[in-house]
Structure formats: structure tokens, C-alpha cells
A and B are shown apart, each in its own frame.
Chain A
Amino acid sequence: MNQLLKKIYISIGIAGAFTVSACNTDFLNTKPLGEATKDDVWQDPALAEAFVNEIYNGLSSGGFLETMLSSATDETMFTHNYGMKNMGEATISPTDAEYVNTRGTFQWGEMYKRIRACNVFFQNIQKVPFDKTATGERLKGEVYFLRAYYYHQLVRAYGGVPLVDVVYTLDDKDYTIDRASFSDCVEHIVKDCDSAVFYLHAKDASIIKGRATEGAAMALKSRILIYAASDLHDFPTAKAKSTVMAAAQKPEVLAYTSGNRTERWQRAKAAAKAVMDLGRYSLAFPSPATPEEASANYQQLFLADNTESIFSRYFLNTKSEAGGQIGLYNGLNGYHNWSGNTPTQLLIDDYEMSDGTLFNWGEASHKANPYRNRDPRFYASILYDGANWRQRPTDVASKDPANQTQTGVYEVWEPEQQKIINSPGLDTRQGPVENWNGSFTGYYMKKFIDPNVDAQYFRQEVPYPFFRYTEVLFNYAEACIELGEDGEAREYLNKIRTRAGMPAFTESGAALKARFQREKEIEMVFEEQRFFDVRRWMVAPVTVGRALRGINVVGKLKPNVKVTLYQRNETNYDYTYTPVTLVNENRIWLDKMYFMPLQRDEMNRNNKLVQNPGY
């Protein structure tokens, strides 16, 4: 049968060739217009550069996806589930981890697809006839950075992963490969960062916005080294703090099993210092005159590039991408937005009072006015009941001429019935506008959301910061604290405090470490930091493992006051604030959550993979 088919095929081919030979045979050898062959790509500098451009797509929209990593922490809660609930409830497994495998920023398959592209690039780049060798050098630097970035995404999510530096073909008989040790992975990433720096050194001026730079590679190196030095990745420490970690099948895949921690901290400190010594970046808006100015500055910091932007993902409102829709995904349902990632009461409570003391529900003045006199960054990051926001959409405007966030329930006078009724706010799950979307927590994200864009219809152009200078200062301060250099740590932490309009730290030792950890939570909220920080610090059980909390706000009319259209007003209303535990996401912490599970399907394809502990 096969033979017969082949004969038929050949004879048709011959007949065809004879028929057209009288005319012109060129059209038989056309190249597809939508694709280019491998040989063409590596003979054409423009195509080679286009190949590199695509590798950047592994960055996705950065942290600006509909399901934000912050909702797998105590920062926010994701309203629509989408597999996010399994993260908070610690019910992800090798066979069911929707967020990890399909929605997050560190998807295994996606990262390896781009790592392969990097390897294909290195296999072929020598062939490309660049006019200026500088272009080829720059592309090499970018690809080294990208490969390091993708490995760092895998390593901080899964621990040590297979280090693939070959370009597999269809003819290979064996695709199985072991997970490399944590230490080898860190060295691989560091080496790629160093190579990137070598090729990108002093080229900033010629590099287009959004591409990798020397500074980006150095900041990445700083980050991976501060992770590497942390508790979770020092096996003796991790083992002592967690029985699940102690039972790890191959501890060297997750942590250093030997070696000197002090040296690791010193190396991390040096890597951070190297970025600082570049002199290319600085804290933006370093010295505000008033708390209000500090608040306005902080909001502005996350709406556009500034002196501390090291590596960011940019968006155009003309291009349909997730990253431009952060306002739509997270905005208030009373603005026809989707209320996706909503700040939790746990986060709100972690904002200090403006004098640097802790907020405390037990204190009568705090409970009576929880949103008064808080850290200026609170007002720039969070929309709470009564907070001013942009113009309401036309169909809702008449219900709220004051344009204020409404997450409470308020008494109003109903003239027809001649009585007082309870009216749920516009931005609640009982309100009149798309209430199935409303926030469960009673708060909304403000940071990163452009107030000048009507997110219902338009996309915003706010960049996502993968690396900003503040993180490098935090890395430096963290290493200093661990090395006992508290004075040096305070100096840099207090630059961040001053910029925020908050009083300086004076603590030392464990107290300083605790303040540093809270400071990073607040300053870098929604920036994909905390998910990893609480793990490597091994404070997850007492932070992200806490029960989810939200707020009930009730506005009661004062005696003899008749208000028919609600607006926040302390003359007319008595407000009460009651924090509540939210039961629809039953958050707990299990130690398996320190690392994400490897997919069972992938383990079935590669029997050398060892599962992470606790799964």
C-alpha cells in the first residue's frame, strides 16, 4: 500500500513537472511569505535581531497579568479564583496548579522555550554578517541577560532546575535530564549576568528603551545572590525550621548543603554595591517637603520612568496586551472595572502610622479612624472607603458626584417610603453596578493605576518595573544587616524612609531586621517581591499563612440628619470599621508551598526529575 501511494505521488510529481517545464519553473521554489528558513535568519542581521526580540516575549507583561502574584501573598486577594484560591489555600499539587502552569510569570514550558531560543542564538550568532560588530555584541549581551532572567524565574519558583545548554533535535533519543543543584543554578545565572555585563558595558546610550542593559544584568545578579544567601537556601537553617524541608529527597537541589553563609552575604552585598557604584541610578524624589508631597511622589514613581528605573516592561495603549489593562483588571466595579486583585486587611494593617508606630485595632483612636495619619505610601497605593478617585463613568456619575471610593454600607433617607434604608456602596458586592465583580476585602489597588485613563475603554501605558534601584538598596541593606553592619544598613534604609516621608530607623539587630522586612513589604507592594521574600526569609507561616481579612464599613446617619444621596461626610455620618475574616478563601500555609510543584505530566516525560518536598 505504501509503495503504491509512493508511486502515485511520484508519478503526479513527474507529470506536474513536465506540464510546467515549458513555462517557468521558478515558482515551484518559492519561499513562504510568512516564514523564513533557519539559514536565512542567521545570514541576515535584521532577522537575527528579530529573533532576539521574540525571546523578550518570555517576559510576558511582567507582573501586570490579570492574576497577580501578589494575590498568592498577604498583599491582595484575587476576586475571581482562576486557580489563585489554590495558592492561598495551599491546595496546589503536581496535577493541579493552574496559576503556576498557565497564569503566572514563571511557567515552566514558557521559560524553557525561551531558554532554547537563547541556546539557538548562541549556536548561530557567529554566522551573522553584522555591519557593525557592536550590534552582534549587544545582542549577545541581551541574550545572556535573558537566559539568566528566565533561569532565575525558574530557580526562585522551583529551586534547582535542569540546566539545558544543548539545542535538542527531533532525532535525539534521550530527552531526560537531572535537576541541577541549587548552587550550580546560581552560578549559571551569575555567569550569564557577568557575560551580559561584559557585552553591554557602557552601551546604555545605544540601547533602546525596554532592552537589557548592563545595569539590568547587575541588578539581576544582586537579586539572585541575595536569594542564594537567604535562610531557605541554607539547608542546615531550612532543615531546622521546617520538617518538610528536612525530608527533601535531594536537598542540594533546593539549597546549599555546605559552605559559608557569611561569604554568601558578602558576595550579595558586593553585587548590590556594584550597582550603586555605577552612579547611573538614584532614588527618585529623594526629599519631599511634606507627607502629602511624599504621597504624590510615590504615586508618580509607579506611573512613569524615573531615575531609579533599571529594567522595565513598556506598553502602548494602541497595542492589546495584558499589561495595559491593569486598571481594568483591578479597578473598582463601580467604574465598570473588574476588581481583580484587591488589597487585604493584613496589608492595610502593616502600614505604619505616620509617626512610625504600629497601627493597632486595640487602640480606640486607630479603630475610630483607621485611614487617618498613616504612612504616606498608604494613600498612594490603596483605595479605601471614602478615598477620592477619578470621575465616575457617565451612567454612574449621578449616584456619586463626589467620585469617592464606596466600599461600605450607608444609611440614606428614602423620601418615598419616608424612612431610613441601608444603601450598599457602589464598589461593593451588593451595589448596583456589576456587583458580582466587587471586592471581597473592601479595598482596591491604586499603585500602578493611571488615574487619567478610563480603564473601562482604554489601556494605560504605565511600565512594569522588573528592577528598580530601591530593590538594590534593599538588597544591600539586607546583606549589611545579616553581616552585622547595622549602621550601614540604616543609612540606606533611611534614604527610602525619608523619600516616603517616614521617620528614620534607629533600631539594631533583630528589631532592625523586622523593620526592614516590613519596609520592603510596604515599599515594594504589588511588585512580585513578597511572594519570594516571605519564602526565603521563612516567615511565610506568620505572614501569607494568616487567615484572609477584609473590612466592614458602616455609615450611620446622625440623629435628625436626612441625606438622600450618599457622600462621605463626617458631619452627617458616624462611621464604624470592623475587620472581618473572609471565609471564601480559607488561607493556610503548608511548607510544601516553599517551592512550586513540578507538573506530574513533565515528571512522566522525564523520569530523572525529583519532586519538591511535601507534594
Chain B
Amino acid sequence: MYEARIPNPYISWEVANNYNVGLDGALLNGKIYFELDAFMNKRSGILVRRNASVPQTTGMTLPAENIGKVDNKGFEFRIGYNNTVGTKFRYDVSVNGGYSKNKIVFWDEAPGAPVWQRSTGMPMNTALYYEYDGVFKDYAEIDKNTVDYSALTNNLRPGDMKFKDIDGNGKINGDDKIRYNKSSQPTFTGGLNVNLQYSNFDFALLVQGATGGALHINTESGEIGNFTQDYFDHRWSPDNPSSVDPRVNDRNDTYWATGNTYWVRSTNYVRLKNLEIGYSIPEFLKKKAGITNLRIYANCLNLFTIDNLKILDPESVNGNGQYYPQSRVLNAGFNLTF
């Protein structure tokens, strides 16, 4: 039996004001079609616990209170063009996209937290990271270093990371962490659709992409799990003294193995999600064979991806690599209808 929470008699609804402007239409006899939509959501009274500002010495298990305010703005669109050329060639090409970005207007903050760590003004679900600033290449560089790392390690070694001294006090500690302005959620996602038909041939293509997201990578590499190829290839070593990439470490046994911007990688990508080519046999053959339809096709899922992440799937929201990867699938087959 314990105090599950301090009662909050003032608890109420969260309030959302939604504004939408939309425009749907078609031009040139429907050859050009489009959907445009812009939105703004202003939410207030979001239920938040004041854990950041109420000292733990109160011993209180805080209830949710209607204090949070978040704005969310964005737009969505789809524009396409379809046409028939002659009697045999038909095509339909369209692009679509959605952009959405939220901003915290009010949140519970620790009164003493440095400005660069506050969540107000930032998107939701962002994290604090040290800002990566290269790697100590050798002992000569460590000897030259004047920044105090004693809050992180008492034994700097070549291949250890450098962090930026954000508050400029000559000392790297938790006050030098910055609130990163990206979360694992992309701000823009979009796609390109192409459908072509020429005589009995058909062709479809779907390209998908996203921008504005970032992922913090933290694989359990070391004595218990393997390293990524990327880490292995670029690692600092006595033979390859890098100024950019760190030495190998065992899981989280170094101060830089997690929680800094070196590990935060952009998840921007463009991916050929689907590609399909088909051929349906002509009418006269169908009749001859006594069937309703026969279509032969080949398709491919996830044929290629262009991204900077390389290490993990840019569509993953999990930075430890422990997920079932998307596979590239090649199919060939036929549909037969009697």
C-alpha cells in the first residue's frame, strides 16, 4: 500500500485547436490532379508530470497536470499527371509528400537547466548529447589538450573522442550536453509513383524517401557482440591513427561509447521500394487457350537505397540493430485466371 500519486483535483481535458486548409482539384480534363493540405494544431493542457522542476526531496509521486503546450505545423500534397498517347500507351506519374514539425511551447523544465538543454522551443522526444569534436589521434595530441576530461575519464587514450566545451568552463561535464534538434521521427516523408502501360506490357515503380530524422546508434559491440563493418573499417588503431573515428571498445566501457553526436546519424534516404514489370498475353491467345487472363511478371522490393546511415536500415527507429531487417525480394511469376 503506497501513495500511487498525489491527487490532482484540477485535472481536465487536453485542448486541441486544429486549423486546416485544403485544395483538391483537377485540370486539363483530369490529366493533372492534385491534393494540397496545410494544417496547424495547437494543443494545450497536455498532461505532463512536473518531475523536472519538483525536487525529489518532496518524495512526491507526481500526478499528470494540464500544463504542456505543443504546436504542430505541416502540409501534405499529392500531384499527378496521367495521359493516354494513341491507343496503346497510358501513363500515370505522381509525387506525394508530407511535412510535419512540432514545437514545444511550454513544458516542465528544471529552473536551473542551461538554455541549450531546455526542451521549450524544440521538437518533442529529443535527447541530450555531448557534441562530438573529433578523436585524439595520438599521445602528442593528448599532451597538448587543455580541456579537463576528469569528469569522464582519468586516463585519456589515443582513439578517445573529443567533445565540445559548450559552456566554455574548460571542463567537460554534463552541462556540455546539448539538446539535439532531431528525433528518430523524420519531418518529411514522400514518394514517387510511376505507372506505365504500353500495349500488353505494364510497368510500376515506387520510390520512397524521408528527411529530417536522426538515429542514435548503440550496438552491443565488444566481447558479447560483433562490431559493424563500418566501425571496424574506420576504427582508430595504432596503424591507422584516425582523427575522426574512435578505437574499438567493449560495449559501454568508454565515456564516448554512447550519448554523443558521433553516434547520431541522419536517416535521410531515398529507396526504390518497388519495381514491377508485367506482360499480359493478347486476347486472341487467351481465347485459343480457353483462359480468362494470363499475366507474367517480375518485381523487386527494396532494390536499392541511397542513404548516409549505411550501418543500419534508415527506416529503423531502433538504434541497437536488434530488429528484423528489411529484405530485398525478387519475385517472378504468372497469374492465370480460367
Contact = CB atoms under 8 A, between A and B. Distances in A.
B6 A91 contact: no
- Interface residue range, chain B: 35 or more
Contacts of B2: 51, 54, 117
A607 B61 contact: no
B18 to A, nearest CB: 11
B174 interface: yes
Nearest to A37: B7
Contacts of B61: 113
Contacts of A237: none
Nearest to B151: A93
Given A90-B154, A91-B151, A116-B59, A50 B1 contact: yes
* B contacts with A: majority SS: loop
A89 interface: yes
B155 interface: yes
A47 B1 contact: yes
A280 interface: no
B86 to A, nearest CB: 57
A468 B163 CA distance: 48
Nearest to B16: A1
Contacts of B65: 170
Contacts of A91: 150-154, 255
Interface residues of A, number: 55
A96 B65 CA distance: 29
B113 interface: yes
A120 interface: yes
Contact of A112 (B58, B173, B175, B252): B58
Contacts of A95: 151, 173-175, 177
A113 B174 contact: no
A108 B113 CA distance: 19
A93 B7 CA distance: 35
Contacts of A35: 4
A1 B253 CA distance: 54
Given A81-B253, A93-B173, A170-B63, A1 B15 contact: yes
A170 B111 CA distance: 17
A27 interface: no
A162 interface: yes
A28 interface: no
A130 interface: no
Contact of B13 (A5, A169, A177): A5
A90 B255 CA distance: 13
A177 B57 CA distance: 8
A602 interface: yes
B337 interface: no
A253 to B, nearest CB: 14
B300 interface: no
Given A47-B1, A91-B151, A607-B112, 14 more contacts: A95-B151, A95-B174, A96-B152, A117-B59, A170-B60, A170-B62, A170-B63, A175-B55, A175-B57, A177-B57, A601-B113, A602-B56, A605-B112, A606-B57
Interface of B: 1-4, 6-8, 13, 15, 17, 52-63, 65, 110-113, 150-155, 173-175, 177, 223-224, 251-253, 255
11 contacts: A51-B1, A54-B2, A91-B152, A91-B153, A93-B151, A96-B174, A164-B57, A175-B54, A600-B175, A604-B110, A606-B57
